[in-house]
Structure 1
Amino acid sequence: MSTATATSTAASTRSRSTGPRSAGPRRNVRASALGLLAWLAGLVFFLPVAYMLLTSFHAESDAASNPPDLTAPLTLGSYREFFGSNPWPPLINSTTASVCSTLLVLLLALPAAYALSIRPVRKWTDVLFFFLSTKMLPVVAGLLPIYLFAKNTGFLDNVWLLVLLYTSMNLPIAVWMLQSFLAEVPVSVIEAAHLDGARLPVILGRVIAPIVLPGIAATALICFIFSWNEMLFARVLTGVIAETSPVFLTSFITSQGLFLAQVSAASIAISLPVLAAGFAAQDKLVQGLSLGAVK
């Protein structure tokens, strides 16, 4: 009896000891496969950008060849054409509209997110849904009323009109993002600030903002990218004075044809500010996007 019991005990011990060992290789294979799949997906998304970058250093005749000649000699002629066409006013307009609208969005969204998360208003979920519903209307559906308003008020071809439009476009997204970030702030910290006599602006600027700084950085970067890349409103509502970078980019598509190398060079140059901002804030972006993900 004791021998049979000892044998069964030893068998069960061996099965428990070999279980994790057999599961370990399978787990490693699965992790390696997922990592390889992620790298392949990243390469698929990066290849068009790499091809555009390579095309920007080719001459127009080499860029228009079919099939593409990847070994063609490199040149900076397309970049000389781009910077020789005076792109600075459109770049300044895009910077002004994007930076000013992003600052206004943060200034308005932070108190709204505070009211919807830390000091919740009544039916705050309905309020959040209302913010989200404003993004369901296609942009082109409101283009004609906005154009008529800008024309009758003398705001056509004015960069500050774009600032107001970009602020209204990005405000719902910012409120949604900041609401999830502020929900992670400990209430005890805010109560301690109230006991010390701090008012709401002080609490928002000196207590809450440092805690959710990664989330604010992520929200600001996304709003900046959306504003920088917006083209429909800028195309219809601006002309020469308030022309933005995406609208200026379309000037390389002429009746003579598509200058592929120049378009590629202009696209790379116009994308550099967004890429630089994303690279500078990449750590804050990752922290911010993951801040409200874990409860």
Structure 2
Amino acid sequence: MSTVAVRVRGRGGAGLGLVAWLVGLLFFLPIAWMALTSFHSEADAAANPPSFTAALTLDGYRDFFGVSGGASPWPALINSVTASVASTLFVLLLAFPAAYALSIRRVRKWTDVLFFFLSTKMLPVVAGLLPVYLFAKNAGMLDNIWLLVILYTSMNLPIAVWMMQSFLAEVPVAVIEAAQIDGARLPTILARVVAPIALPGIAATALICFIFSWNELLFARVLTGVVAETAPVFLTGFITSQGLFLAKVCAASLVVSLPVLAAGFAAQDKLVQGLSLGAVK
């Protein structure tokens, strides 16, 4: 390869890197602006044009955590953690053996099975809202956090099966056959052979299911009241007939986003490995 070609390729790589940084900053700027606004007073937050040198205060966070006498967000945050973590665990327990049957020990017409899982996501969520509400009402499960666990599990299960099927398809069959020769049974193979190899994919699937459950608003808004209220529903309480309290909303949004950001940061290496697994043959 000539020196000129190397230089052209180097400039092209630098240009793509610059574009990637610009796109990253484009996505990061709204979050940075939200974080800065959360430390302003309501008057400074509503100023037009906005002031970058406005005094900083923690009033928005005090109002969110109920220090000033408002409602406490902790019950809603605990409900969100319960619904998200429990549904994610149930999804993994159900999706893992299903993905194993569709990738390694394939069942008959496994492509039709995968299409059926995908077809369940084609129905708009709002289309199933009324039947689910009537069922929950007749079953006495309105304002019950375990109803949300069941709904989030059923909503995330199809995409989890699809993701984990592609991850488990990369597990060497020879390793599984060697374990079977040694006398290992299916539960042992799944727990001690397949799961460690597919751990990045499992982590990526768990993180995405957790994020989807944590951010879900429609069902939580309609099917819960006071007892099972989740964090996104609690956030909507800051939009009142008196107006939009921008600083308080930004503070609340930042706090509610922290668990998802922390989970993504903690599992970022597994997430990158899992999402790229099987992308290159």
Q: CA deviation at 1:147?
A: 0.2
**Structure 2 CA distance for aligned equivalents of residues 119 and 204 of structure 1:** 12
Match status 1:43 vs 2:29: no
**Structure 1 counterpart of 2:276:** 290
Which of 91, 98, 107 is the aligned partner of 2:93?
A: 107
The one-letter amino acid of 2:127's match is A
**Structure 1 counterpart of 2:235:** 249
Query: Identity across aligned pairs (percent)?
Result: 79
Instruction: Kindly indicate which of the two structures has a greater share of residues assigned to helix.
Output: 1
The one-letter amino acid of 2:121's match is K
1:133-148 alignment runs, 5 A limit? 133-148=119-134
**Structure 1 counterpart of 2:55:** 73
**Structure 1 CA distance for aligned equivalents of residues 108 and 52 of structure 2:** 61
**Structure 1 CA distance for aligned equivalents of residues 88 and 246 of structure 2:** 32
Superimposed CA distance per residue, residues 138-180 of structure 1 (whole angstroms, 9 cap, x where no aligned partner):
0000000000000000010000000000000100110011000
Q: CA deviation at 1:133?
A: 0.8
Match status 1:93 vs 2:75: no
**Structure 1 CA distance for aligned equivalents of residues 228 and 186 of structure 2:** 37
Unaligned stretches of 5+ residues in structure 1: 1-18
**Which secondary structure state, in structure 2, belongs to the residue aligned with residue 162 of structure 1?**
helix
1:258-269 alignment runs, 5 A limit? 258-269=244-255
Q: CA deviation at 1:122?
A: 1.1
Unaligned stretches of 5+ residues in structure 2: none
Match status 1:60 vs 2:42: yes
**Structure 2 CA distance for aligned equivalents of residues 264 and 241 of structure 1:** 24
Which of 159, 167, 170 is the aligned partner of 1:181?
A: 167
Larger CA deviation: 76-85 vs 56-65: 76-85
**Structure 1 counterpart of 2:65:** 83
**Which secondary structure state, in structure 2, belongs to the residue aligned with residue 44 of structure 1?**
helix
Which of 186, 197, 201 is the aligned partner of 1:211?
A: 197
- Count of paired positions: 277
**Structure 2 counterpart of 1:116:** 102
**Structure 2 CA distance for aligned equivalents of residues 71 and 42 of structure 1:** 25
The alignment's C-alpha RMSD in Å is 0.7
**Structure 1 CA distance for aligned equivalents of residues 16 and 259 of structure 2:** 32
**Structure 1 CA distance for aligned equivalents of residues 52 and 150 of structure 2:** 44
Q: CA deviation at 1:199?
A: 1.2
Moved over 6 A (4+): none
Q: CA deviation at 1:113?
A: 0.3
TM-score (norm 2): 0.97
The one-letter amino acid of 1:113's match is A
The one-letter amino acid of 1:167's match is T
**Which secondary structure state, in structure 1, belongs to the residue aligned with residue 65 of structure 2?**
helix
